C-alpha cells in the first residue's frame, strides 16, 4: 500500500467534507500538523468539529480555521491563549465541549481501541458531569463513589504531526511533541500523518515505535518547519 503523498492537499483529497469530526494532535503549538491544517483551511470545508487539546493561538494551528469561520465546535480542555476562540465562544458563535485533559486523551484512546465509553471520577461534582450518566463503583478502600460516563471519540479523520516514519507508516514522535498525537491518530477512520523525515523500512528500532503503521493510511513530508513560540519572554542581558 502506497502511503506517501506529495503534499498535504493530495493527502487529504477525497477525505474532507462539511460537518465532519476531526481529531487533531498537538498541544499549544507543539506537535501540531501545520501543513495539514493549512490544507484544510484552503479546501474551504466548513461546519467542522475538532477534538483537540486546544486551538493553538490566533492565526496558528486550529486558530487559523476559527478566523475563517470553518469550525462550528471544539472538544477541548484548554482555550486560554486564543482570543478569537474566546470571543467566538462568549458571543455564541462557537460551540465548546470542555473536557479535562486526561479524559480527552482517554476518550481518543478509547475510540481507537473500539471502546464506546468508560467511567471516570474526573469531573464528578462539576459542570463537566452535567447531563452525563453516573454510577457508583467501589474505590480502592471499598467505599462506593460516584463516577461519570464519558464516551469514546470516533473521528472521521485524524491528523497528526510526527518526527520520523518509515515507508510502511510506522511512526516515531519527538519527545513532548508526542502529547495528543498518538491517541488522536488511533481514533480516526482515516489517519493522515505529516512527518519531518521518511526513513527506509526496517531502520527504526521496533521497540521505539510509538504508532504502528496499521493505524496510518496516508503520509506527507512537511519539513522544513519554522519553530513558532506562543510567548516570547526575555530579560535584560547582565552587564559585567
Same domain, 104 and 212: yes
* Termini Cα distance of the chain: 62
Question: From CA 162, how far away is CA 121, in angstroms rounded?
Answer: 32
More confident residue, 230 or 185: 185
Which of 94-103, 115-124, 142-151, 219-228 is the least confident region? 219-228
d(CA 192, CA 212): 13
What pLDDT is recorded for position 235?
84
Do 27 and 103 lie in a common domain? Answer: yes
Average pLDDT taken over every residue of the chain: 94
Residue 226 inside a domain? The answer is no
Instruction: Say how far apart CA 234 and CA 141 lie, in whole Å.
Output: 49
Expressed as residue numbers, the domain containing 130 is: 117-151
Q: Quick one: 131 and 213 in the same domain? A: no
Global confidence as pTM = 0.93
| CATH code for the domain in which residue 163 is found | 3.40.1080.10
90 with 138, same domain? no
Residues 110, 167, single domain; the answer is yes
Q: Do both 143 and 188 map to the same domain?
A: no
Q: What is the mean pLDDT of residues 154-172?
A: 97
Is the model's pLDDT at 240 over the cut of 80? no
Residue 81 has pLDDT above 90, yes or no: no
Count of structural domains within the chain: 2
User: Within this chain, do residues 53 and 143 fall inside the same structural domain, yes or no?
Assistant: no
Q: Which of 240, 177, 184, 220 is nearest to 38 (CA)?
A: 220
**Is the pLDDT assigned to residue 231 strictly greater than 80?**
no
d(Cα 154, Cα 23) in Å, to the nearest integer?
A: 9
Same domain, 132 and 217: no
Amino acid at each position: 500500500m502506497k502511503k506517501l503523498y506529495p503534499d498535504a492537499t493530495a493527502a487529504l483529497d477525497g477525505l474532507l467534507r462539511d460537518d465532519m469530526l476531526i481529531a487533531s494532535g498537538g498541544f499549544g503549538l507543539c506537535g501540531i500538523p501545520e501543513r495539514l491544517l493549512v490544507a484544510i483551511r484552503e479546501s474551504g470545508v466548513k461546519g467542522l468539529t475538532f477534538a483537540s487539546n486546544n486551538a493553538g493561538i490566533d492565526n496558528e494551528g486550529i486558530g487559523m480555521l476559527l478566523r475563517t469561520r470553518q469550525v462550528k465546535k471544539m472538544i477541548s480542555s484548554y482555550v486560554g491563549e486564543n482570543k478569537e476562540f474566546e470571543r467566538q465562544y462568549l458571543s455564541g458563535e462557537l460551540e465548546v465541549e470542555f473536557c479535562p485533559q486526561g479524559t480527552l486523551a482517554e476518550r481518543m484512546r478509547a475510540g481507537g481501541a473500539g471502546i464506546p465509553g468508560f467511567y471516570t471520577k474526573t469531573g464528578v461534582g462539576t459542570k463537566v458531569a452535567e447531563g452525563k450518566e453516573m454510577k457508583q463503583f467501589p474505590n480502592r478502600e471499598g467505599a462506593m463513589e460516584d463516577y461519570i460516563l464519558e464516551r469514546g471519540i470516533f473521528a472521521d479523520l485524524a491528523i497528526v504531526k510526527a518526527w520520523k516514519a518509515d515507508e510502511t507508516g510506522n511512526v516515531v514522535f519527538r519527545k513532548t511533541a508526542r502529547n495528543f498525537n498518538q491517541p488522536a491518530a488511533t481514533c480516526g477512520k482515516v489517519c493522515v500523518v505529516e512527518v519531518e523525515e521518511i526513513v527506509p523500512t526496517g531502520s527504526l528500532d521496533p521497540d521505539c515505535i510509538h504508532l504502528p503503521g496499521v493505524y496510518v493510511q496516508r503520509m506527507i513530508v512537511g519539513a522544513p518547519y519554522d519553530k513558532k513560540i506562543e510567548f516570547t519572554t526575555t530579560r535584560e542581558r547582565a552587564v559585567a
